[in-house]
Amino acid sequence: MTSYPEIRLHLGGRGWVAETACHKDVLNPATGLPVGRVPLASAEDLRHAAESAARGFDLWRSVPAIERSAILRRAAGLLRDRKATIAEALTREQGRPLGDTAMECLVGAEVLDFFAEEARRIFGRSVPPRVPGAIQTVLRDPVGPVLAISTWNVPVNHAARKLGAALAAGCSVVLKGPEEAPASTMMVVAALLDAGVPAEALSLVFGNPPDVSDLLIAHPAIKALTFTGSTRIGKLLAARAGAQMMPVTMELGGHAPVLIFDDADIDKAIAILGMTKFRNAGQICIAPTRFLVQDGVHDRFLAGMVKAAQALRVGDGMDPASQMGPLSTRSRVDAVAALVEDAVARGATLHTGGHRIGNAGYFYAPTVLGNVPTDALAMNDEPFGPLALINRFSDPDAAIAEANRLDYGLAAYAYTGSEAMANRLAAEVQSGMLSINHHGLGPVEHPFGGIGASGMGSEGGAEAVERFLVTRFVTRVAR
**So where are the chain's domains?**
9-252+455-474, 256-444
The structure's pTM equals 0.95
The string of pLDDT tens digits covering residues 286-310 is 999 999 999 999 999 999 999 999 9
Residue 359 has pLDDT above 50, yes or no: yes
Catalytic status, residue 251:
yes
Name the pLDDT band for 271 (thresholds 50, 70, 90): very high
Catalytic residue of the set 104, 251, 382, 459: 251
Catalytic status, residue 22:
no
Closest to 91 (Cα-Cα) out of 82, 101, 81, 79: 101
Helix axes 65-81, 83-94, angle to 10 degrees: 70
Strand pairing of 22-28 and 202-205? unpaired
3: DSSP letter: P
Name the pLDDT band for 17 (thresholds 50, 70, 90): very high
pLDDT at position 381 is 96
Residues whose CB is less than 8 angstroms from the CB of residue 150 and which lie 6 or more positions away in sequence, other chains included:
158, 159, 162, 175, 176, 177, 178, 185, 228
- Phi and psi based region of residue 310 (left: phi greater than 0; alpha: psi -120 to 50; beta: remaining): alpha
Catalytic residue of the set 104, 171, 179, 285: 285
Name the pLDDT band for 479 (thresholds 50, 70, 90): confident
Name the pLDDT band for 33 (thresholds 50, 70, 90): very high
CA distance 395 to 392: 10
The string of pLDDT tens digits covering residues 62-116 is 999 999 999 999 999 999 999 999 999 999 999 999 999 999 999 999 999 999 9
The string of pLDDT tens digits covering residues 390-420 is 999 999 999 999 999 999 999 999 999 999 9
Q: Note the residue count of the chain.
A: 479
- Architecture of the domain made up of 9-252+455-474: 3-Layer(aba) Sandwich (3.40)
CA distance 121 to 115: 10
Residue 158 has pLDDT above 80, yes or no: yes
* CB-CB contact of 50 with 216 (8 Å): yes
CA 47, 36, 191: angle at the middle one, nearest 5? 60
pLDDT at position 478 is 84
3-state helix, strand, coil in the chain (%, to 5): 45, 20, 35
CA distance 459 to 250: 9
The string of pLDDT tens digits covering residues 164-203 is 999 999 999 999 999 999 999 999 999 999 999 999 999 9
Closest to 152 (Cα-Cα) out of 176, 128, 131, 182: 182
Residues whose CB is less than 8 angstroms from the CB of residue 477 and which lie 6 or more positions away in sequence, other chains included:
131, 133, 134, 135
Q: Among residues of the chain, what percentage have pLDDT more than 90?
A: 98
Name the pLDDT band for 36 (thresholds 50, 70, 90): very high
Name the pLDDT band for 342 (thresholds 50, 70, 90): very high
Residue 476 has pLDDT above 60, yes or no: yes
* CB-CB contact of 468 with 165 (8 Å): yes
CA distance 286 to 294: 22
Average pLDDT over residues 208-235: 96
Q: Taking all residues of the chain, what is their mean pLDDT, rounded to a whole number? A: 97
pLDDT at position 2 is 55
CA distance 77 to 248: 29
Average pLDDT over residues 46-67: 97
Average pLDDT over residues 247-272: 97
Q: How far apart are the first and last CA of the chain?
A: 70
Burial of 244 (0-12, 13-18, 19+ CB in 10 A): middle
pLDDT at position 3 is 83
Residue 1 has pLDDT above 70, yes or no: no
As a CATH number, domain 256-444 is 3.40.309.10
pLDDT at position 384 is 96
Phi, psi of 133 (to 5 degrees): 85, -5
Phi, psi of 18 (to 5 degrees): -100, -30
The string of pLDDT tens digits covering residues 415-430 is 999 999 999 999 999 9
* CB-CB contact of 401 with 425 (8 Å): no
